[in-house]
Amino acid sequence: METALGSDPAATVEAARLIAKGLTMTVALGGAAVGQGILIGKGLEAIGRNPEQSGNIFGKMIIGAAITEAAAIYALVGFFIL
């Protein structure tokens, strides 16, 4: 007796593909969100401790956030490739 997924190999492959797409986005976007949260939190903490360097710290914080956001963009590209 075959199961519902075992009866159609194309349906099994499609289900696996959709699960992979979901995991790709969940893991990558979750990691990017956590990374940006930590980065911005630590940047604001550093500005609070050393306000005269706020321009320098803020600029580096924005560059770091852009690099972190690149991981989310790569995940989006991977989503469309899968």
Residue 1 pLDDT level (bands cut at 50, 70, 90):
very low
Q: What's 35's domain CATH number?
A: 1.20.20.10
Domain holding 36, by residue range, is 10-81
Q: What is the pTM of this model?
A: 0.70
- Residue 5: inside a domain, yes or no? no
Q: What angle do CA 63, 64, 69 make, to 5 degrees?
A: 100
CA distance linking residue 55 with residue 49, whole number of Å: 13
- Residue 4: inside a domain, yes or no? no
Domain count across the chain:
1
- Residue 3: inside a domain, yes or no? no
Does residue 5 surpass a pLDDT of 70? no
Residues above pLDDT 90, as percent of the chain: 35
Mean per-residue pLDDT for 12-22? 88
pLDDT of residue 7: 73
